[in-house]
Structure 1
């Protein structure tokens, strides 16, 4: 083989040519060096993308190499963000007011007529992540859904790469099987015999609750599907005064009306009072309404209360009313042998919402609506569109689940849950949930030991810990309106200062006549006792500055 031919091969395939140089005694070392020189001269610098544009990537015929290098660069950006999210020396957020942030990012926010090169696109990715809140940071306590589980992250990456729809088996064969298996597993956790029943993944707990109300309405008044609201009597639904707002919103969206969503009083711990529920159902009947739906809550958003499910189930059976449990937050406690007793009686529910993207740490979004009886989702929602749901397909069309859904296009939310459950097993998830409750108990103990901290509710049922910080300047004030008015301003000021600093994030809100208080949520398995101590120290330090 001539040296010229080898050099040309070297330019096309460096590794192959190097092998030729190594094993051919007739090719000189200088040829290898000359090949390196040629590559240096003629190959582009793949570490930069100033002259590369999106249209040059796959599916362009010669786009493989550019695509691989570009994706590797993007993955490096993402890995760096994952590392920073777990680095306690980094800020939870780099906060700027909206108008300021708009000015700072003006160079990359606007969409221009001409395409930007991929170097700019990489810069845009970095800039975007720079100003994102690191919800996976161990000191982020602001929401019920926190953390950055690596296996779930891998699941989300694979899901995006597969980029398929969940409406039929023919385009999502593996994922539809996974969905069936995972939903069956979740129904088994609830306690429904052999995991029988039905369900579907929905875009968040609010939509899962919407499904429950829609199916319940169809079950009691099926003519509404074809004849509309004019064919229906005045339907009435009931939920706790501490329930999630999505229950009331479902009443608005489905034409029931928020005036017909009755909020049931709770006891001092935030649990629905069954006797009040029974009385309100009787009252609605006397006034000509048709009670059809009761929603109990497994882990209320603020106090973390679990309603008395068996008592509520008795009332629903007595009045022949659909019994739903909103377990978006607390449903995952079913996996823990230690804490599943919080949901005693949930197996009597007709439906249940469960959000693995909260307590189980699955990445957003991952929510399921689960039903005890099969076929109700299709009865309520199916329209048998012939361009999707043909009955004469070559496979069992029971796996074409799209007609159960409100949506047509439906994101694959099951894979990240399936693969994380595979990686952790029941035991891993149980240990996670027990560990989060242990961390909540540690927080409660520390609050009792520190001056200036007062519980909104002592010994809460669940992870939620609600408390006030009372600055030293206010501790001698007599309890009453003046003290409450001043205390109401403390949590917002502390929250603003911690966000400006970027040190931590904790949510706050009022409740009824109670002034603003902190609602502390530990739902990130990366959070440690020193992180809890840091957060309390920060609140105390900032509280004395306010």
Structure 2
């Protein structure tokens, strides 16, 4: 970042220099709103959402009490109720709260998980005092979906050893493979053994807005709690993460510490509107306004079109590369979400017979191509190993501004940069 000083000085700098710093910050930053940015689950930049974030900063308030954020508190209540209705809980009953990121929402409710579940599950186990040694990992199929028979076997085994299984995490849209666990089958086991069922819908929850794709979350209405991140599949500006619970009053009962300097019982309004005692961290940024404003501007149908379009684009990519020379899919069959996982095999490796040498060299291909993408500034797509699989590309689409020409460009760019790998 030549010429861009990050040093903080004792004396104030001129307004002109401040404007230069603002320009350079955007110049050297990553344009995550660009339609060819496929690197993360959160992409795009909605103009209504941006306006909402600007106005939120203008209001500069906190969400912990109704008295300082009356409009935002009511917006949050109404929006969370609508989200619970989308989950399928009768009349949107229950409770919920917006909380930063994914680890805190998944911490609101935490013993049983799977190797490919989000790392927030391990963090939550440590934070809540269970310890990661009391987190039992489950077997999954080759697509990363929980195998229900293994879940029940491990529940029974844990009980036999004197443990008390109390929590099962199912995932609706895994981070890498985009897999959806069989929620109904998992719910049957949880109900049989009286275990809390949490569905991590941070990435896949947005599909509830789509009549075409919501069946992938069939059974989610049987969950005791759900996390859902509108800042991912729905394109709401970061951050916007919700935890929903089916039992009303549970968040207050679990988290209330009755801080007298904030939560006086004799206020002139109904103090049940105060939200700070429902949250782990009390003080919260106003994450609701941008989401509420986008929902007003798009309507539920607009979000549905957004999600359907992204999934159509992922199908387009899958169909283009599944039988294309130089591409190998990480798993068989059509993807469940917009995650497309594949290897690009450069010409130098296509005829290589030594399996181990091919494996070792293929492991280095995606990092090399990604590095050249970064240097040229043309596009960005993520890669990672998974289990015994060497580095592969994980393509995700959540930006409604992307179109088929952007997908075509990505394919051509990977081939151009990977010719000599």
For normalisation by structure 1, the TM-score amounts to 0.76
SS at match of 2:165: strand
Which ranges of structure 1 fall in alignment gaps of 5 or more residues? 1-100, 214-236
Q: 1:241 to 1:434 in 2, by over 3 A?
A: same
SS at match of 2:180: coil
| Correspondence for 1:116 | 13
Which is worse superposed, 262-271 or 326-335?
Answer: 262-271
Out of 398, 403, 406, the position equivalent to 1:528 is: 403
Higher percent of residues as helix: 1
C-alpha separation in 1, matches of 2:70 and 2:319: 50
Out of 66, 69, 86, the position equivalent to 1:189 is: 86
1:256-405 mapped onto 2 (5 Å cutoff): 256-405=130-279
For normalisation by structure 2, the TM-score amounts to 0.98
| Correspondence for 2:49 | 152
* CA-CA distance at 1:484 after TM superposition: 1.1
SS at match of 1:109: coil
| Correspondence for 2:123 | 249
* CA-CA distance at 1:539 after TM superposition: 0.4
Instruction: Check conservation: 2:338, 2:396, Cα contact below 8 A.
Output: yes
Deviation digits for residues 73-107 of structure 1, max 9, x if unmatched? xxxxxxxxxxxxxxxxxxxxxxxxxxxx3xx25x5
Matched, 1:175 2:50: no
Instruction: Check conservation: 1:264, 1:277, Cα contact below 8 A.
Output: yes
| Correspondence for 1:32 | none
Instruction: Check conservation: 1:240, 1:297, Cα contact below 8 A.
Output: no
Matched, 1:512 2:409: no
Out of 287, 293, 299, the position equivalent to 1:419 is: 293
C-alpha separation in 2, matches of 1:240 and 1:408: 31
Deviation digits for residues 100-119 of structure 1, max 9, x if unmatched? x3xx25x5311100111111
| Correspondence for 1:477 | 352
Which ranges of structure 2 fall in alignment gaps of 5 or more residues? none
SS at match of 1:291: coil
Deviation digits for residues 163-206 of structure 1, max 9, x if unmatched? 00000000000000000000000000000000000000000121
Count of aligned pairs: 420
| Correspondence for 1:538 | 413
Deviation digits for residues 507-541 of structure 1, max 9, x if unmatched? 00011111110000111101010100000100001
Deviation digits for residues 314-349 of structure 1, max 9, x if unmatched? 111111111000000000100100000000000000
Which is worse superposed, 177-186 or 262-271?
Answer: 262-271
Q: CA RMSD in A?
A: 1.0
C-alpha separation in 2, matches of 1:382 and 1:118: 45
C-alpha separation in 2, matches of 1:202 and 1:249: 16
C-alpha separation in 1, matches of 2:126 and 2:137: 14
* CA-CA distance at 1:281 after TM superposition: 1.1
* CA-CA distance at 1:479 after TM superposition: 6.9
C-alpha separation in 2, matches of 1:532 and 1:367: 28
Question: Which protein is bigger by CA-based radius of gyration?
Answer: 1
Instruction: Check conservation: 2:348, 2:420, Cα contact below 8 A.
Output: no
C-alpha separation in 1, matches of 2:174 and 2:354: 27
SS at match of 2:322: helix
* CA-CA distance at 1:449 after TM superposition: 4.6
